[in-house]
Amino acid sequence: MNIIKILLSSFANIGLLIILFVSYSMQATEYKLPIQNVRLIGEQKTHKVAKGDYFQGIAEQYNVGFLALMAANPNIDPFLPEPESNIIIPSAMLLPFIAHEGIVINLPELRLYYFLPEENKVHVFPVGIGREGLATPKVTSYISSKRENPTWRPTKEMRQRYFAEHGEEMVQEVPAGPNNPFGKYALRLGQSEYLIHGTNQRFGIGMRASSGCIRMFDEDIKWLFDNVPLKTKVRIIDQPIKMSYENEKRLLIEIHAPLSTSEEPQQTIITQAVKNFVGENEHYWQQLAPIIERPQGLVVELGL
């Protein structure tokens, strides 16, 4: 059983599914672009658990992904965290190794970056991506159209899957409204069927839960809709490991679980670039061993 099925089942069992739709006041998380050859942005935060807190609510409060919060806090119950315990908020990150322009979606970390180098800013959002078997493609594209209150029309493949699973025909279209899976806004990628869009189900942001499109909280997609112009370049990449040699003395590394094509987790691959970055320092490799075995998606400084 995959993580999404487990989480949905757990929520149903403890009667918390209804509160997934509680809305938090969120704004785009904005960072200043660092100086040349520096890639660290943000800072790690902690959240002290109050009675009634749960990971979905905390993720929405800090505008981070649900799985990112789980990975950063592997020993804490995401549904019933212990009051007064401290939750790590993964709000520090290394910028992906790619030109800082337009929209960049890094699939393993389930984040979307919107770079504004002329304003020395980058905005970062959690996103949901395609689930196993329906992976979001790695492409270079652009924003070709923007639609407010879009109509949702399932593809032929989606209708076929639905019929195979349920034995009945899927609805042909869903108009704008609370039942629309696209939410209130959608941005199309080139001439493809793939969209960056909102959602009518807040659970799934920061997870692999879609049929291939990029899902965002409605507040976040509205911000993109209002601020991202047509023809903006979009690059979807796969960088589970990000590294930075900061200020010629600090070695920082951030490791995310690699994307899997099945329900079985995929092992982290240590590339030659990672070997060159870490070097032959045995202490560094000992420090990295548990993180490679179970990635937490947190920025780690080697040597500390």
pLDDT value at position 155?
77
Is 266 a residue whose pLDDT tops 50? yes
Is 33 a residue whose pLDDT tops 50? yes
Tokens linked to 62:
């800090």
pLDDT band at 27, cuts 50/70/90? low
- CA 212 – CA 250 distance, rounded (Å): 37
pLDDT value at position 261?
76
pLDDT in tens, 169-227: 888 787 888 888 899 999 999 999 999 999 988 788 999 988 889 999 999 999 999 99
pLDDT band at 8, cuts 50/70/90? very low
Q: Tell me, yes or no, if 213 is annotated catalytic.
A: yes
- CA 51 – CA 183 distance, rounded (Å): 31
Task: Specify the pTM.
Answer: 0.88
Other CB atoms within 10 A of residue 259 CB:
17
Long-range contacts of 275-279 (CB under 8 A, 24+ apart): 277/243, 277/245, 277/251, 277/253, 278/251, 278/253, 278/302
pLDDT in tens, 75-104: 999 999 999 999 999 999 999 999 999 999
What's the distance, CA 228 to chain centroid? 19
- CA 295 – CA 206 distance, rounded (Å): 16
Q: What DSSP line would sit under 205-246, residue for residue?
A: TTSEEESSSEE--HHHHHHHHHHPPTT-EEEEE--SEEEEEE
Catalytic site residue from 100, 123, 166, 197: 197
User: CA angle, corner 287, sides to 286 and 292, nearest 5?
Assistant: 90
- Residue 126 DSSP SS3: strand
